[in-house]
Amino acid sequence: MRTNLDRRHFLGLAGLGAGAAALAACGGPSTAGTADAVDAATIDFAGVKPAASIAFWTNHPGKSQDVEKAIIDKFHAKFPDIKVNLVTAGANYEEIAQKFQTSQAAKTGLPGLVVLSDVWWFRYFSNGSIIPIDGLVKQLDIKIDDFQRSLVDDYKYDDKQWALPYGRSTPLFYYNKDHFKAAGLPDRAPATWQEFAEWAPKLKATSGAQYAYIYPALAGYAGWTLQNNLWGWGGSWSKDWDITCDSKESVAALQWAQDSIYKDGWAGVSSKEAADDFAAGITSSTISSTGSLLGVLKAAKFNVGVGFLPGGPEAPTGVCPTGGAGLGIPSGISKEEQLAAATFLKFMTEPENTAAFSAATGYMPTRLSADMSAVLAATPQIKTAMDQLAATKVQDNARVFLPGADQEMAKSAAKILTQQGDVQATMTELKKTLEGIYTKDVKPKLKA
């Protein structure tokens, strides 16, 4: 049969190609050989003059747009020759990463400074998308020793510093003081989940809220907050590069979480944002980032309490992961832009600016010398986040270094916590997936 290219056929065929257009619109890679390694010689900034203008890509973590604008205005006053354009490059860390990776592929439109989350910076490093900033730290005399050591060390690899901490957080236990009081409970966070399991039925019975506790939204970094449960039971997503999510300790932790929803009936799972659910009074307690603190305090029409994350039967303390975002400088821009970006990076992380950022969002101050007295007088709850930093633990490699692992963990958590899936089988399947990602995407890029 002969088919004419009439209008109907033509329209049909034109529609077919649309799906492939987005990816192919990017620039292509070189297949001539590896081009990822950052040459040490290219990071010498002697004699370089800062560029007149750079873009700062941010997702405004913790609703920080106003404070970011204010800091940039101060920067312009101090450095009138460098203009910083504040760009909303996404609504969350994933969207900003998507834009950044796409610009890398297109080899155009890169920012001077970019917000990078705990799960993204290593990928940028392994792709050669960001530069080590040691040379700039030295040249601009950035007081690296005045930063919170553990937060700075999160961005170290191969004896080089790849980023500096910015909107850094830990999860906090948020509770409704009024509900706790009505239930006759002490005005504090539970020391362990076992203690909370004793409190929960009383809370559910007296509060009128739907849940005594709500698990964070599974689409929003479930792998991050569930580390608290895993570590409390002696489990983990991984130990170094060994995937341990299917160990009996890890399975026991997630089984307990599943039981709190299906067997005991006092817990639920947030659909979008646990902090919003908590502020709306749907639940008596939850776990959410310190970056949500100011938003919760503003929105909640009840007394809000915060505390350390509860421990578990195997580990009563030291069960809190760090998280949040840092700032990095792309490799695909000119040295002039990199120097201007580093000048802004230094200013952004000055003690008074980190204090201002902390006051506006609830994120932890990243500098030891930051004067937090006025901030803590206005928002004493931030002190809890600061104190908890001493009890934090480095996140599991599987979550922060395996591309897509956080999403796979969220899917598995959804199966367990919303479909009552078999915990052991789900974790066994997850282990297989994570090992596949490690073998294919990470192992070849690790230094021997």
Partner 1 sequence: MTAPLIHNSSAPADRPATKPPATTPAPAPAPATKPTPERPRWSGRSRKDFLVFLAMALPNLVLIGTFTYWPLINNIYYSTLDWTLGSASATVVGLQNYVTFFTSEDAAKVLGTTGIFTLITVGGSMVLGLLVALALNSKVRGTTFARSAVFAPYVLSGVGVGLVWLFIFDPGYGVLAWILRGLGQQSPQWINDPQLSLVMVIIVYVWKNLGYCAVVYLAGLQSLPRDVMEAAALDGANGVRRFFHISLPLLSPTTFFLLITTMLSSLQAFDLIRIMTPLGNGTSTLIYEAYLQAFGAYNRAGYSAAISVILFAVLLVITVLQLRFVERKVHYS
Residue 25 tokens, joined: 């619109």
Among residue numbers 245 through 274, which ones bind partner 1 (CB under 8 A)? 268-272
246 in Cβ contact with 189 (< 8 Å):
no
**Contact call for residue 104 and partner 1 (CB under 8 A):** yes
Residue 32 tokens, joined: 């001539």
**Contact call for residue 129 and partner 1 (CB under 8 A):** yes
**Contact call for residue 417 and partner 1 (CB under 8 A):** yes
**Contact call for residue 1 and partner 1 (CB under 8 A):** yes
Chain centroid offset of residue 432 CA: 24
Q: Which of 5, 7, 15, 159 binds partner 1 (CB under 8 A)?
A: 15
**Contact call for residue 3 and partner 1 (CB under 8 A):** yes
Residue 122 tokens, joined: 């290593």
Q: Which of 63, 65, 79, 127 binds partner 1 (CB under 8 A)?
A: 127
For the CB of residue 285, give the shortest distance to partner 1 in the complex, in Å.
14
Choices 15-23, 153-161, 185-193, 364-372 (CB under 8 A): range interacting with partner 1: 15-23
Choices 212-220, 296-304, 311-319, 367-375 (CB under 8 A): range interacting with partner 1: 212-220
CA distances from 387 to 109, 117, 302, 384 (A): 40, 22, 24, 5
**Contact call for residue 219 and partner 1 (CB under 8 A):** yes
Round to the nearest angstrom and report the end-to-end CA distance of the chain. 61
Contacts of 282 by beta carbon, 8 Å cutoff, 6+ apart:
209, 210, 211, 214
Contacts of 246 by beta carbon, 8 Å cutoff, 6+ apart:
424, 427, 428, 430, 431
Closest among 395, 394, 327 to 131, alpha carbons compared? 327
**Contact call for residue 243 and partner 1 (CB under 8 A):** no
Q: Which of 264, 336, 422, 441 binds partner 1 (CB under 8 A)?
A: 441
CA distance 98 to 388: 32
Tell me if residue 140 falls in helix, strand or coil. coil
CA distance 225 to 253: 13
Of residues 22 and 46, the one with the C-beta less far from partner 1: 22
For the CB of residue 104, give the shortest distance to partner 1 in the complex, in Å.
4
Q: Which of 79, 86, 101, 134 binds partner 1 (CB under 8 A)?
A: 101
CA distances from 363 to 80, 206, 289, 292, 354 (A): 28, 33, 8, 8, 9
Of residues 53 and 419, the one with the C-beta less far from partner 1: 419
CA distance 19 to 16: 7
Among residue numbers 161 through 200, which ones bind partner 1 (CB under 8 A)? none
Q: Which of 280, 368, 394, 446 binds partner 1 (CB under 8 A)?
A: 280
For the CB of residue 373, give the shortest distance to partner 1 in the complex, in Å.
38
The residues of the shown chain that bind partner 1, judged by CB under 8 A, are: 1, 3, 8-9, 12-26, 28-36, 94, 98, 100-102, 104-105, 119, 123-124, 127-129, 210, 214, 217-219, 268-272, 277, 280, 282, 403-407, 410-411, 414-415, 417-419, 437, 441
